[in-house]
């Protein structure tokens, strides 16, 4: 093949890859554009302080859904983050190569690929049926199950970046292994671990499927953690699939709020805590 | 020896070690427990219908008849369509970002592609209902019917809500997965490979084709399989645009149903135990498929990104 043809082919392929990248970004701006456009026009103060109104009435809000999402994400974080970090400590600090660690690592990877609606089913049969009602607790638990493998993965990556000489310095000073981990290794990797945890929070905050039959949803305020609880994603789903125009508007506004939450968390996590030099 | 004793005897140390071990093992327990819980709840349906559950085409809760084939069909068609669209584009994005783009550009575009994965599924669904489906109904589907109408895939009334909409939205959602994994494995290709190819006078594309892609091939396959896994289990966006009709029709324009969608729609309405059990069995099938798929996909990705270098497992 002559050189001219090779160079021509090279150029063509490079253009193909650039076009692929542009195509990939079109839906991002398409979705964001429509959500901002339709969401902004429906967003107002009432959205944040009012309860949903009956169909057809203007002026309803999603205050209970916003609070419900915050509560369930909080429950999930309280359960999922410590479990995930501790498991990751085992995988990096105590036992890097055994068959057990490999199995746990592999199971973690596989778990991240399990559809989230499956988690909803499992928590429904295990928790909702046992307790006899849908609840924020069950919803939070379902989100925690989704969070755990994400936290393990990100924390493990960060702990692996901590150089061995730092650990050895600890041992050389006669500090026990446990203290070395808690006082030296973890703080060194803290930024990265927090970044990973925030990304996991952003991820579960937008989850709908696992909440459908665990937290269910609620048109009113929930008075305890043991009651059906509204959440932003489930509310958006219900409004979007309803036939009422007012509710569609609220769904767009809710999506804008949800996307803002997710993007802000992502940006803060990536840029405020970006320094990964350890 | 003194150091060794001090390192292992303190009570706090032992507790921490035990605690972390427990949490690590809990992941394995969690996975086994999930499988067991699903199987247990699906048992009445499995016993009643046996294999005919998968081959049956009638889903009629009123008559207690449950055949899941329409859902399996809808899930497979939309996922394969998504894969067909997203795999080449995702790979193209990965090649562009890893091999061509300058580092600043790479960071920004890489972030944007990751943002595609961060947009919640329900928001894609909302967009699908009010933007994508009307566009398909008015523009794309009539156009496809006009030019390719001789193929059964593109026949029938343009509805907007159907397998085409489901496949398109899934393609958008799995693209970042395929791109991210492909980037990860391509980054694991040693630079020596690239330099060797360039030193022999290869153009950039020839370098990619000869040195990068063959090395990363199995990992890229793994990434595509992970994307497929994500498409199979994706629930909300598909539920909102697929049309939710349990029929098996050849046209991509036709409304259909997916496994995850029927669970999402009917689970809380399942009025008797067998109905619920049948829905759980669909979940169990989905769980089984994604488990196997993820298992092999991870093996492939590991073989490239972790295996040869061994750095991470040492």
Percentage of chain B with pLDDT > 90? 81
| CA A265 – CA B18 distance, rounded (Å) | 33
Please name the residues in contact with A211: beta carbons below 8 A apart, sequence gap of 6 or more. Answer: A72, A120, A139, A142, A143, A217, A231, A233, A234
| B175–A contact, CB cutoff 8 A | yes
Q: How far is CA B45 from the centre of its chain?
A: 26
> Is position B42 within any domain?
no
Q: In angstroms, what CA-CA distances link B155 with B48, B78, B83, B143, B251?
A: 38, 17, 22, 11, 6
Residues in chain A: 278
Which of B14, B35, B127, B310 has the highest number of chain A CBs within 10 A, making it the mutation to test binding with A?
A: B127
pTM of the complete model: 0.92
The count of other CB atoms within 10 Å of the CB of residue B159 is: 18
A115-128 pLDDT tens trace = 999 999 999 999 99
CA distance B97 to B78: 28
Which residues in chain B are closer than 8 Å to A233, comparing Cβ atoms?
120, 122, 236
Instruction: Tell me if B84 is assigned to some domain.
Output: yes
Q: What pLDDT is attached to residue A155?
A: 96
Residue B30 lies in a domain: no
In-domain check, residue B46: no
Domain assignment of residue B297, yes or no? yes
Region A187-215: what's the mean pLDDT?
Answer: 94
Nearest C-alpha neighbor of A38 from the set B112, B161, B119, B127: B127
Q: How many domains does chain B have?
A: 1
CB distance from B38 to chain A under 8 Å? Answer: yes
- Residue pair B38/A126 in contact by the 8 Å Cβ criterion: no
Q: State residue A274's pLDDT score.
A: 61
Rounded CA separation A117/B259 (Å):
10
Angle at the Cα of A217 from the Cα atoms of A215 and A218, rounded to 5 degrees: 125
Residue B1 or B267, more confident: B267
- Which residue range is the domain that position B228 belongs to? 69-305
| Domain assignment present for B213 | yes
Inter-chain CB proximity A21 and B8 less than 8 Å: no
* pLDDT beyond 60 at B6: no
Secondary structure of residue B60 in the 3-state scheme: strand
User: The domain spanning residue B280 has which CATH number?
Assistant: 1.10.3720.10
pLDDT band at A56 (very low <50, low <70, confident <90, very high): low
> B155 — contact with chain A (CB < 8 Å)?
no
Domains of chain A: 64-272 (1.10.3720.10)
Q: Are strands B59-60 and B65-66 parallel, antiparallel or unpaired?
A: antiparallel
Q: What is the mean pLDDT of residues A23-27?
A: 95
Residue A223, classified by CB atoms within 10 Å of its CB into exposed (0-12), middle (13-18) or buried (19+), is exposed
Give me the count of residues in chain B. 314
pLDDT of residue A52: 84
Three-class DSSP category at B244 = coil
In this prediction, residue B132 carries a pLDDT of 96
What interhelical angle do B69-95 and B259-266 show, nearest 10? 120
Residue B43 lies in a domain: no
What's the pLDDT tens digit per position in B180-222? Answer: 999 999 999 999 999 999 999 999 999 999 999 999 999 999 9
Mutate to test the interface with B, among A100, A106, A113 (most CBs of B within 10 A): A113
Q: Is the ipTM of this complex over 0.90?
A: yes
Q: Is residue B238 part of a domain?
A: yes
């Amino acid at each position: 093949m002559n050189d001219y043809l090779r160079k021509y082919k090279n150029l063509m392929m490079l253009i193909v890859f650039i076009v692929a990248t542009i195509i990939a970004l079109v839906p991002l701006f398409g979705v964001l554009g429509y959500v901002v456009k339709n969401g902004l026009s429906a967003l107002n103060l009432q959205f944040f302080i009012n309860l949903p109104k009956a169909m057809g009435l203007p002026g309803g809000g999603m205050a209970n859904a916003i609070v419900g999402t915050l509560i369930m994400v909080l429950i999930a974080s309280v359960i999922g983050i410590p479990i995930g970090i501790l498991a990751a400590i085992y995988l990096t600090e105590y036992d890097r190569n055994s068959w057990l660690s490999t199995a746990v690592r592999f199971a973690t990877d596989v778990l991240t690929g399990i559809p989230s609606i499956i988690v909803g089913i499992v928590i429904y049969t295990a928790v909702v049926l046992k307790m006899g009602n849908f609840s924020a607790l069950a919803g939070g638990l379902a989100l925690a199950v989704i969070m755990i493998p994400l936290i393990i993965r990100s924390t493990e990556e960060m702990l692996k970046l901590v150089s061995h000489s730092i650990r050895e310095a600890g041992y050389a000073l006669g500090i026990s292994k446990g203290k070395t981990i808690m006082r030296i290794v973890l703080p060194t990797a803290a930024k990265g671990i927090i970044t990973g945890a925030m990304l996991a929070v952003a991820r579960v905050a937008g989850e709908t499927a696992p909440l459908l039959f665990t937290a269910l949803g609620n048109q009113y305020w929930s008075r305890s953690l043991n009651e059906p609880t509204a959440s932003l994603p489930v509310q958006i789903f219900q409004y979007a699939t309803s036939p009422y125009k007012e509710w569609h508007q609220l769904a767009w506004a809710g999506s804008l709020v949800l996307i803002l939450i997710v993007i802000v968390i992502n940006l803060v996590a990536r840029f405020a805590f970006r320094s990964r030099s350890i | 020896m003194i150091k060794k004793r001090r390192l292992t005897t303190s009570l706090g140390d032992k507790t921490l070690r035990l605690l972390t071990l427990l949490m690590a093992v809990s992941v394995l327990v969690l996975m086994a427990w999930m499988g067991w819980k699903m199987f247990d709840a699906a048992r009445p349906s499995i016993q009643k219908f046996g294999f005919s559950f998968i081959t049956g085409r009638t889903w009629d809760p009123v008559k207690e008849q449950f055949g899941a084939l329409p859902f399996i069909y809808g899930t497979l068609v939309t996922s394969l369509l998504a894969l067909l669209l997203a795999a080449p584009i995702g790979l193209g994005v990965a090649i562009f970002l890893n091999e061509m783009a300058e580092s600043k550009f790479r960071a920004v575009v890489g972030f944007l592609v990751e943002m595609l994965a961060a947009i919640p599924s329900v928001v894609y669904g909302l967009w699908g209902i009010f933007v994508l489906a009307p566009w398909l109904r008015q523009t794309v589907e009539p156009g496809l019917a006009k030019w390719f109408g001789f193929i059964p895939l593109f026949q029938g009334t343009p509805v907007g809500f159907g397998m085409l909409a489901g496949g398109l939205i899934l393609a958008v959602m799995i693209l970042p997965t395929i791109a991210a994994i492909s980037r990860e494995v391509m980054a694991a290709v040693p630079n020596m490979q690239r330099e060797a190819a360039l030193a022999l006078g290869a153009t950039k594309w020839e370098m990619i084709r000869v040195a990068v892609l063959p090395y990363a091939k199995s990992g890229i396959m793994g990434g595509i399989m992970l994307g497929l896994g994500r498409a199979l289990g994706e629930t909300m966006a598909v539920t909102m645009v697929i049309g939710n009709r349990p029929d098996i029709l050849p046209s991509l324009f036709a409304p259909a149903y997916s496994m995850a969608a029927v669970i999402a729609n009917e689970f809380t309405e399942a009025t008797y135990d067998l109905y619920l059990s049948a829905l759980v069995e669909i979940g169990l099938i989905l769980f089984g498929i994604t488990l196997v798929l993820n298992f092999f996909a991870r093996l492939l990705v590991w073989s490239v990104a972790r295996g040869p270098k061994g750095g991470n497992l040492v």
